[in-house]
Structure 1
Amino acid sequence: MNVIKRAKAPTPKFFKVLRNIGLALAAVGGTILAAPVVLPVGIVSIGGYIAVAGGIISAVSQLTTINDSKTNAV
């Protein structure tokens, strides 16, 4: 299965929730990074890490699919 088909395939409910959490984290991190006031370096660094983590969580959750095959691999 290529990436395009995988992205379009149905996503399990748990990963839909996890994807939304990742998007929220990315938004919070982006807001911290783009704040119009001067913030301490530590907070800006944490904001960058939060944005990256949220993006990764969202991408991995979006590419997780439901496996409808009836075969049992042993």
Structure 2
Amino acid sequence: MKANKPLSISKRVTAPTPPFFKTLRTIGLMLTASGGALLVEKGVLPAAVVQVAGCMVAAGGVLTAVSQTTVDDAALRMKEEQYE
């Protein structure tokens, strides 16, 4: 069995992503966008809503970043075998 080499961040981001994590990435993007939209109107909204919006942006950003760097090993191996 061939040992897996660690991937660089740039290769992880461009590697195939598993379907479950694609869904999580989309949810993270929606959280970030929703929180950002609420933060734009922070002068009109109560402080608690603005605080929750900030948390939504942070959580969405982390969720998106982690989901994007998750690699589908089987799809990556098939992709590498095509180029060999």
What TM-score do you get using the length of structure 2 for normalisation? Answer: 0.77
Q: Which residue is equivalent to 1:63?
A: 69
Give percent identity, aligned residues only. 46
Show structure 1 runs of 4+ deviating over 3 A. Answer: none
Q: Which residue is equivalent to 1:25?
A: 31
> How big is each residue's C-alpha offset from its partner over 1:1-24, in whole Å with a ceiling of 9 and x where there is no partner?
100000000000000010000000
Structure 1 residues without counterparts, runs of 5 or longer: 70-74
Larger Rg: 2
Q: Which residue is equivalent to 1:54?
A: 60
Computed over aligned residues only, the root mean square deviation of the Cα atoms, in angstroms, reads: 1.3
Deviation of residue 35 (structure 1)?
Answer: 1.5
What one-letter code is carried by the residue in structure 1 that aligns with 2:41?
A: A
> How big is each residue's C-alpha offset from its partner over 1:11-68, in whole Å with a ceiling of 9 and x where there is no partner?
0000001000000000000001002751110000000000110010000000000123
Work out the number of aligned pairs and report it.
Answer: 69
Structure 2 residues without counterparts, runs of 5 or longer: 1-6, 78-84
Query: How far apart are the structure 1 equivalents of 2:18 and 2:60?
Result: 18
Q: Which residue is equivalent to 1:10?
A: 16
